[in-house]
Amino acid sequence: MSAKTDRIDRLAELTARKDEGGHGLWYEAFRRLRRNPLAMTGAVIILLFVLIAILAPWLAPHDPAAQTWLGEIRGAEGFIPGPRSGNWLGVDGLGRDELSRLIIGSRQSLLVGVVATLLGFTAGAILGGLSGAFLGMFGKAGRWVDSILMRFNDMALAVPSLLLAISVATILGQGLVTVMIAVGVTQIPVFARLLRGSMLAQSHSDYVLASTALGVRKRRIVLNHILPNSMSPVLVQATLSLATAIIEAAGLSFLGLGGANAANPEWGVMLADSQQYLATNLRLAVYPAVAIIITALGFTLLGEAMREALDPKLRK
């Protein structure tokens, strides 16, 4: 039985590959990505961001927590000195080197983005995958399970994400872990809905009909054919969600939920701290904001290009 279905699987796979011109979906997508200048820009930004985050302790010219007495270095243009030799981007309101804080801060942003996205991705994919699998495998009972899971999901979508975040903060206290979990939790229903929808769309494909006609068991169709083919929109969403996570984390820090200490600066907290100097020293808000925007743009550019590259409708 198994040997036979194995052969059928193999046959289906070979036929599918042949249609695509001898290469797999991902290979084709990667080739298209490499020719897309926007995707490459995004990839370069992400690479730089990751490198800076990894090498931060060696790149930062100063200790991010070390303070200089402002009276000593008071610049001519204002109370808080701007760019000058020794501090390329000037110092912040407490006399700490702005550039060093930005560089070290990249680590926190990367961490928040990756952990929150992983959390949302994993939990969401399990939820959505279960829903889709039950729907595909167990007929009426499966539809019941799917319907219950998805109603839960809809309810989670209706609850304002900020409230979820604040309640996570009341349980765990302020801090980076809170921000990660809060941002991650709000991503779960998005991933769940996406994977379920994608599996549902795939289950109407010709290859599923063909496999069913050939007598392949439902479980095998769902797990070996539908599920892997449904993953591409979810992976695209994961890339985009890295950007959202970094921006949302900044928003939570702005509302006072993020907890970064002096030695571990975070872009969102830096932006929130800069509020009190907004009228006199706008640059203190601009630096971390620009850092957030460029990083988020990198992930968004790559994610959008991936979406286009993986979309069969746009393939020529």
Partner 1 sequence: MLRYIVRRLLQLVPTLFGLSILLFAWLHSLPGGPEAAMLDVRATDAKRAEVRAALGLDEPLIVQYGRFMKRLVRFDLGDSFTTGTPVMEEFGRRFPATVELTVVAMIIAICAGIPLGYLAARRHGRIFDGLTVTGSLLGICIPIFFLGFILKAIFAVKLGWFPSLGRQDVDVNATRVTEFYVLDGILTQEWDASLNALWHLILPAIALASIPFAIIVRMTRASVLEVLGEDYVRTAEAKGLRENTVRGRHVLRNAMLPVVTSIGLLTGGLLSGAVLTETVFVFGGIGSFLATAISNRDYPVLMGFIMIIAVIYVLINLAVDLSYSVLDPRVRVR
Q: Which stretches of the chain bind partner 1, using CB under 8 A?
A: 38, 151-152, 154-155, 157-163, 166-167, 170-171, 243, 247, 250-251, 254-255, 268, 271, 275, 278-279, 282, 285, 289, 292-293, 296-297, 300-301, 304, 313
Contact 145, 134 (CB under 8 A): yes
Output the smallest distance, CB 304 to partner 1, in A: 7
Minimal distance in Å, beta carbon 156 to partner 1?
A: 9
Instruction: Report residue 104 as tokens.
Output: 């070290």
Nearest distance in Å: CB 300, partner 1:
5
Cβ proximity of 46 and 302 under 8 Å: yes
What per-residue string of b and e applies to 225-259 under the rule 16 or more CB within 10 Å gives b? bbbebbbbbbebbbbbbbbbbbbbbbbbbeeebbb
Pick 46 or 221: Cβ nearer partner 1:
46
Chain mean position to CA 222? 26
Nearer to partner 1, 231 or 286 (CB): 286
Bridge partners of 84, per DSSP, are 87
Q: Is the dihedral of CA 264, 270, 274, 275 positive or negative?
A: negative
Which candidate, 91, 131, 148, 96, places its Cα nearest to that of 226? 131
Instruction: Tell me whether residue 111 or residue 162 sits nearer to partner 1 (CB atom).
Output: 162
Cβ proximity to partner 1: between 220 and 283 the closer is: 283
CB of 268 to partner 1, least distance (A): 8
Q: How far is the CB of 7 from partner 1 (least distance, A)?
A: 38
Minimum CB separation from partner 1 for residue 282, in Å?
A: 6
Closer by beta carbon to partner 1, 60 or else 169: 169
Non-local (6+) Cβ contacts of 185 within 8 A are 119, 120, 123, 164, 165, 168
Please state the closest distance from residue 237 (CB atom) to partner 1, in A: 14
The label of the residue with tokens 């001898």 reads 22
The radius of gyration of the chain from alpha carbons, rounded to an integer in Å, stands at 24
Distance between CA atoms of residues 156 and 190, nearest Å: 10
Rounded Cα distance between 102 and 97, Å, is 9
Give the residue with the Cβ less far from partner 1, 134 or 299. 299
Closest CA to 229 of 139, 132, 308: 132
Choice between 42 and 128, CB closer to partner 1: 42
Q: Are the beta carbons of 185 and 169 closer than 8 angstroms?
A: no
